[in-house]
Amino acid sequence: MTHSEENYLKAIFHIGKGGANEISTNAIAEQMETKPSSVTDMMKKLSEKNLVNYKKYKGVSLTAIGKSMALSIIRKHRLWEVFLVEKLDFSWDEVHDVAEQLEHIESEKLIDKLDKLLDYPKYDPHGDPIPDKNGNFKVMDKKLLSELSVNDKGICVGVKDSSSQFLKFLDKNKIALGDIIEVIDKEDFDGSFQLKINANSFNVSSQIASNLYVQITE
């Protein structure tokens, strides 16, 4: 498996949200920042290797093997992100690009040992679940903050947008995973939220609210 092949599998998995949906050529091209014609070439190759189901003009989906490979790469990506944050003191907005490289290192032993060193983490620094060796992970029952109603209370457990910009914004405003968030009020006019985060009052725009995941506690 080449790096490129791995990246395509990962892209298909992410676009399809792990399901068996049919993914369009254009969607993959966009995600990969490449051209549709390049995607077609690659789909033929991955199909030849039985990693995707591909029928001309009909889109692609991952085969069981393709899916398990995608999950293995995602596992590596997220474990490395944890490593960078926990062991090397990277901040959560700096880890993604390095993990994009590290995820392609081939060594079963390496990743097992890393998993152990990190004490078998279940989530990465952005709240995304880390598949185990067999590709299994439990999806957390979480909602976007924007879906909550007034008086709902929950724990901040993840980010939808994990761009450096957004993460730095959260840092600046001292919002972090694990924080307790209560919806005090919703502003109909602009969709902004009045919150209490760890006992401090806060107002966030609807854009922010629709990129934060919370687990409702009551």
Partner DNA sequence: ATTTAAATTTAGACAAACCTAAAACTTTAT
Partner DNA sequence: ATAAAGTTTTAGGTTTGTCTAAATTTAAAT
Identify the CA nearest to 115 among candidates 69, 75, 67, 157: 75
Q: Which among Mn ion, a copy of itself, DNA, none contacts residue 96 (Cβ within 5 to 8 A by kind)?
A: Mn ion
Within 54-73, which residues bind a copy of itself (CB under 8 A)? none
17, 57, 89, 188: which one contacts a copy of itself (CB under 8 A)?
89
The answer to whether the beta carbons of residues 23 and 10 sit under 8 Å apart is: no
Q: How far is the CB of 69 from a copy of itself (least distance, A)?
A: 18
Q: Which of 81, 94, 179, 182 binds a copy of itself (CB under 8 A)?
A: 94
Q: Does 108 bind a copy of itself (CB under 8 A)?
A: no
- Which one among 20, 64, 65, 105 touches a copy of itself, defined by CB under 8 A? 105
Starting at the edge strand found earlier in the chain, the sheet holding 212-216 runs: 143-144, 212-216, 153-159, 180-186, 193-197, 200-204
In whole angstroms, give the CA distance from residue 135 to residue 74.
9
Q: Is 182 near a copy of itself (CB under 8 A)?
A: no
Coil, helix or strand for 36?
helix
Q: Does 135 contact DNA by CB under 7 A?
A: no
Of 60, 81, 79, 83, the residue nearest 71 (C-alpha): 79
Alpha-carbon dihedral sign for residues 89, 92, 94, 97:
positive
Tell me which residues in 7-26 interact with DNA (CB under 7 A): 24-26
Q: Which residues bind DNA (CB under 7 A)?
A: 2-5, 24-27, 34-45, 54, 56-59
